[in-house]
Amino acid sequence: MPRKLSTRQASDRKKLRKRLRELELLTKSSRALNSTLSLDQLLDVIIKIVRDAVSAETVSLLRYDAAKENLVFELARGRKGREVLGFKIPIGQGVAGWVAKHKRALIVNDLQNDPRFFVDVERKLGLKTQSIMSIPLKRRNRMIGVIEAVNCRKPERFTSDDLAIFVALGDHIATAIDNVRLYRQAERSRLENSQLYETSVALGKALTLDEVLEQILRSLKKLIPYDVAAIFVLEGTNQELVSYLQHGYRPSAEKKLRLKLDEGIVGWAARHRQGVIVADTSKDKRYVKANARTRSEMVAPMLSRGRVIGLFNLESHRLDAYRTRDLVLLETFAAQAGVSIERARLYEQEQVKQEIERELKVARTVQQFFTPTTSHKVGKYTITGRSYPSLELSGDYLDVFPLREPHVAFAIADVAGKGVPASIIMSSFRATLHTVAPHYTSARNIAVRANQILLETVRPEDFVTAFIGVLNYNTGRVTYCSAGHEPAILMQPNGKYELLRAGGAVLGVFDSNELEEGSFELGDGLLFAYTDGITDATNAQDKQFGLKRLVKFVRANRSQSSFRLCTELRKNLKQFTQNAPQTDDLTFMALKK
């Protein structure tokens, strides 16, 4: 029969088992804490270890900033944990501030009634804080931060035994954090030197401005974490700061990325020709709110021969995300970029000149070949169209092409922009229609398929408005689809008219473009389609030709042949504008018996 232990022996054995569990926990924790040199991974390890060791609901870690005499949140969990990152607590304020000031561990199990309770942190975390256990983190007698276990999950709250384990863990945590920071500093120094060298070599090879800016932002991302970035270049006689390249901004912020020299933190840095760090943008009246989640910002000017030619702008979702060392590094990149951008501009000016000459020569030939110059006779009907570019090349499109008998398709379209770029997109759109149209006899089906192809081949800003129609020349029935285009005019022999609006949004932008189809019997009526260059034509008194005047003209000339109507409209437009310079492409088409 086993001998019964005395009360003291039982107590000693219980203490021994407890001590063994603690030693096992510390050994296991030490291995886990030293298993990574990644700060993010280390923070995840710290959370798990502390929560398991002392039955805490969550964990907070604050870095000690000796220069500013405050604590900065580096780790926080809660509904709004990310928002509190970078939040600063002055030494002596709150539980963490008290622990940092006195360099002593502290347990508070009734936090709501403790005078050291800091309600601002609770609000930011979105967490109801009831109890807290906080210890200083020290390394070689040097304060590096404070770690807190928040809300004990045990009924008896935090105990002195919990605190003993937490303090023991704190030494291991402090060592691991210090090791990671030392490693990061060494790795950062190596990476900075490497990236500066690689960027210098790359910038020496890159000739275009886009190549230069892309290379710089890629390199910066490896060295200075940012959530939003923009590179502004000073342009024009009005000294406007234009964002050439940006990452992280919403499309709706585009207007806010064009700044005058008296606007924003970027404008301030440009005027004073010096870099600036803003730890909390919500407290700086200079900040232009182009990104709702931005909490801190850093700007460095690019100088060339002593004058500002642009600026780097980095923004973070964290408070106080940037240090003086970051600004020094950003200014080093800016100095390299200033010289490269000046060189890239000179190169691009020459390249653009040569490219324009080549594009004009090719595009002029292609466009002249594509644009119909004669009337098309289809059964009892005649289709006549005219197109007059405002520049050497047009962004408008006019075409007639056969489908399965007895159908013929016609289209009038307007590409966003004018000149060479628009004419190239127009050529692509023409090829798309000629590829798609023969498979359908429905205007809507042609438009839907053309939209799908445009989505794959052009940028969203290069959209197309189009009026596409299909005529059955045996019956006179017309189906049509107006995709973001000016409404065509259906004029009856008695002078009554209808504006044809059935369709949908522009082509080449929306994947789910719900296009509709309209239809009508043409009979002895007249269909007149046009681009906005007609209605927007302006005279010397700054009056527009307008839709009302166009309808009146079509009604007055409805009995004319389609050829005669188009000829008369050209004369009428010239008379109205008094031969003022044409500012937009003019394209129109008439279909009638």
Measured distance between the N- and C-terminal CA atoms of the chain, rounded to whole angstroms: 120
Classify residue 553 by its DSSP letter.
Answer: H
| Cα(349)–Cα(189) distance, integer angstroms | 37
Q: Select from 129, 127, 305, 330 the least CA-distant residue to 216.
A: 330
At 411-435, the pLDDT tens digits run: 999 887 666 677 777 877 888 888 8
Q: Which helix (H) or strand (E) holds 292?
A: none
Q: What is the mean pLDDT of residues 452-456?
A: 86
Has residue 255 got a pLDDT over 70? no
Q: Of residues 517 and 463, which shows the higher confidence score?
A: 517
User: What are the backbone angles phi and psi of residue 520, rounded to the nearest 5°?
Assistant: -165, 160
pLDDT in the model for residue 348: 64
The tokens describing 435, both together, are 């590829």
Q: What is the mean pLDDT of residues 247-264?
A: 71
User: What are the backbone angles phi and psi of residue 499, rounded to the nearest 5°?
Assistant: -95, 125
> Is the overall model pTM greater than 0.75, yes or no?
no
Q: Of residues 254 and 101, which shows the higher confidence score?
A: 101
Of all residues in the chain, what percent carry a pLDDT higher than 90? 27
Q: Select from 523, 454, 441, 520 the least CA-distant residue to 483.
A: 454
Ranking 16-25, 369-378, 442-451, 526-535 by mean pLDDT, the lowest is 16-25
Ranking 8-12, 25-29, 146-150 by mean pLDDT, the lowest is 8-12
Question: Which stretches within 301-441 are classed as H helix?
Answer: 324-370, 419-436
Mean model confidence pLDDT for the chain? 82
Q: What domains sit in the chain, N to C, each tagged with a CATH number?
A: 15-184 (3.30.450.40), 206-347 (3.30.450.40), 371-592 (3.60.40.10)
Ranking 94-103, 247-256, 295-304, 422-431 by mean pLDDT, the lowest is 247-256
Q: Select from 145, 589, 230, 212 the least CA-distant residue to 387.
A: 589
146 neighbors 71 (Cβ within 8 angstroms): yes
pLDDT in the model for residue 83: 64
| Cα(117)–Cα(110) distance, integer angstroms | 10
At 353-389, the pLDDT tens digits run: 677 667 666 656 655 556 666 788 999 999 999 988 8
State which of 15-29, 321-335, 444-458, 494-508 shows the largest mean pLDDT: 494-508
At 180-204, the pLDDT tens digits run: 777 776 666 666 666 656 666 665 6
Classify residue 301 by its DSSP letter.
Answer: E
